[in-house]
Structure 1
Amino acid sequence: MNKSTKNSTINITQSVIHQFFGKPRDKQLEISLGSNLYLFVTKIGSCIFKYRSNFNGKLSWVTLGKYLGKDNNNKILGLSLDEARIKAIRYNLQTKEGINPKVELEKDRVKNITIAELVNKYFEEQLPIKRPNLNSQKQFIRAVTTDIVSTVGHLPVVDVDDDIIRERVIQPKVKNGSPASARRARINIKLLLAYAVYLKIIKYNPATLIESDRIYQDRPRERHLTLEELGLLLNMVYSAPIKTQHKIAIHLITILLQRKTEITSAQWSQVDFKNKTFTIISTKTGNELLIRLPEQAIKLLEIQKELSFNSKYIFPSRNSLLKPISHNTLNYILTPIISNKIKNLVIHDLRRTGATLLGEFGYPVEVIEASLNHAKPGIQKVYHRSQYITQREQMIQDYADRIDKLIMPELLPYGKHFCI
């Protein structure tokens, strides 16, 4: 540290750190941020957060992570100042309780391991054992790199769910007329995620939710619930000992007809309580869809607002208010709830269920398609945003009313107060 310039008088904000980022300097800068948290600005302009650990009288540095600038949407990349402060506070508390922060940091690192990092670990530790033949190893490495790392390698393992596997890894190959490649990709990612379960990075393997016959026969998933099954599902969800926010998320996905991630990753800035609207941003096309919310959705969001603890996300993660819940959370909690009573169901099927039932109720196909936020060739994004908005409002309100009648009155959440 003798080559560093120590400075604890600068008022550090995220904006100040961004000004430091990427700009060369003569000497490394070391800035105390309080709570044993430090910012190191290197000669080449790297911004690194470090924690000064004092465990059992032994001083040491623990690297928390790097600030990596911002993307085109002004979203912070890498570790933010707020996230670093939260980590430092947590490590201070753990130190007082006799827990070594370095050990906890390793646990955090395992939780944040990406698919690419998992693949490399598998190549190093498992591949020589599972495939002793060198040619077989080369074929496997080539297939995994092409099919999996190139598409989802950057994603944290904990964020990869069956929808992501299906949409990003498998379906592109099916659409290209390569069912054999799709089968291979499914087998390999299932193998890798089973290894992640073994390492205790995740609790269950989301690839097991993807049925092989859907790939082998090159046909899309067609599962949808009957009205009776939908009622059974929602009553089981509201009766289950799970968090209220998970019940609300499933209810909202059901009545708003949107993709799971578009709801679970949404921010409060997308909700306008005054005008009773919700702006959905498609995870597939980037198109915006303005939804006039049914009364039930407004009530559900008002309940969730109290449960989100001022997070910018509607459904914040259990571990951090700075992140939304994991992509696979809802499917994970749904599986034991439905058990053997409703077979072959994943969250995405609720969207298809709504479209099917609304068609049976007599609503026009074009209004249903607009509600699903399906992109139409030749339609401008500005027009797409509000297309059929009045008809959609009436249809979704009717659907929400019908669904309410399926749920036992004593289980409906409206007007109740919840702590979790």
Structure 2
Amino acid sequence: MKKSDLKEKDKLKMKDTVLSSLEPESKEYKINDGGNLHFVVNPKGNKRWELRYKRPSDLKWTWLGLGTYPEVSGKFARQKADEVRLLLADGKDPKEHKEEQKRALLNSDQFSFKSLAEEYCKSKKWTDATRVRNEGALANHVYPTMGNRDYRKITKQEWLQLIQQIQKKPHPKTGKPIIEMGNRVRGLCKEIYDLAEVTGRIDHNPLSGIDKFIDKHAKENMDHVNRDELPKLLVDIRSYPSRETSIGLQLLSMLACRPNELREAVWNEISFEKATWIIPAERMKKRIEHHIPLPIQALKLLDELKQYSGQSPYLFRSRSNSNKPISNNTFNKALKSMGYKGKQTPHGFRHIFSTQLREIGFTRDHVEAALAHKISGVEGIYNKAIYLEPRRSMMQEWADHLDELVLRVSKGEAA
């Protein structure tokens, strides 16, 4: 339909059938829909709504765009025009009002990094200890600098500089750079931005690719005793005064799990019937569910442990609060009190397990799967096996071997 074909009665509050049928002409033209609301058609056929009004400041006529058609229908355009007229009746310029709203939105915390991070944290089903650790890392290392910033405007360069600064900070106890904290913060912030990206609030994640340009975690050879010292260590552990802690250290030496995986373990992860401990992905370093076959000795220790944990969901309950696990320093403190400071750490049992099982002749894949190590490169992409049954035999043989070492000490034999 051409503009010239419109009848006068069709020009007021035009129906969408009329609006959609209007054809472009060589020059842009406007049709008054009533109340100074105009429908505009340009030569390319694009259509939009504009409202003509007098500015309250100087009573001069000006135009205000109300959106394109068909995104803004005739009915919606008239509603928007009515809202503008209400503002004008209050002496407010709609353009100035729109800018004030934009400034207020930017000054609010709607787009602050802290508000986005808090939304992300609330969505996660972390254990209490993990929540404290992650939220503490954000509060201590990120919020002071980035918390009140508009997360949409923080650049990749600024994030890189912050992560590098965190990695250079000295640890309060050791004085060494906290490289691992920088990596933890980078991972958290990247996931926080992932939330904004998948919900359409940003187009790209400024943390993507930063991991290639920061220091990696320096692999440490955690202190552990040598082969000859292991039997004496096992005997000392079994005679440790705190039975709960003794059981914990025995399980660490037997199962080769990470200390925090055991410390934060809950009873519903343990299946006595299937003789398996399944650690959920969110508690694992690589975020992959981990199955640990439980040898007979481990099942006996866990059964005994029940009398100490009581009604607590945790295997190793805090003495002050049954709804929390023991302190992350409990196992390490026990080893130090036994005279193993600088000789053995809780994490060091994984090194003993790895080295001695390989020397005994167990395959690399089975040992690595037991340690929940992720195989790198192409092999890791295709090899998803967890070797549960062969590992079950391996774990039982390892537990029997540890018992044999203790028995030799009791008989006065050399290890």
* TM-score of the two chains, using structure 2 as the length reference: 0.48
* Higher-RCO chain (CA-CA 8 Å, sequence separation at least 6): 1
* TM-score of the two chains, using structure 1 as the length reference: 0.48
Higher Rg of the two aligned structures: 2
